Amino acid sequence: MNTHNDGIWTLGRYGSVVSDRPVSEIMGSDCVEYYGGHLICESVSEANAKRIVLCVRAMNGVPDEDLAFGIVFGKADTLRENIRLRDDKYHLEQQCAALRERIEILQQALAVRRLPSP
């Protein structure tokens, strides 16, 4: 893997950290029902899993090179805003997908109603 998983990281089940996007390099990443998402790591204490998720989300948008040198001072407000915008975008995408499905169902129902009587 050349870059980290850029999905939204959350706490999974059974001491795991999961993402909303697959991790091709991790065996078990597709065991979404078991872990509660695409597996990032497992066998982590709850406190450490929370810390991992918080750190990854807080550093969203900060290049790895900057993290390697510790250049993140004074960016807390920007990082919080990036996290909020990213989460908002994710939830809006989910809502749009659900609405598209509902529209398709309604269009199909209307098409059936318009069929000529035998």
pTM over 0.75: no
Query: Where in the sequence is the domain holding 94, given as residue range(s)?
Result: 9-113
The answer to whether residue 1 sits within a structural domain is: no
Asked if residue 20 belongs to a domain, the reply is yes
Cα 40 to Cα 25: distance, rounded to the nearest angstrom:
9
DSSP letters spanning 66-116: HHHHT--TT-HHHHHHHHHHHHHHHHHHHHHHHHHHHHHHHHHHHHHHTSP
Query: Which pLDDT band, with edges at 50, 70 and 90, does 32 fall under?
Result: very high
Residues making up the chain, counted from first to last: 118
* Model confidence pLDDT, tens digit, residues 85-113: 878 888 899 999 999 999 999 988 888 87
Instruction: Report the helix count and the strand count for the chain, using DSSP H and E.
Output: 4, 3
Number of domains in the chain: 1
Alpha-carbon distance of 82 to 8, in angstroms, equals: 12
Q: Does residue 118 form part of some domain?
A: no
4 in a structural domain: no
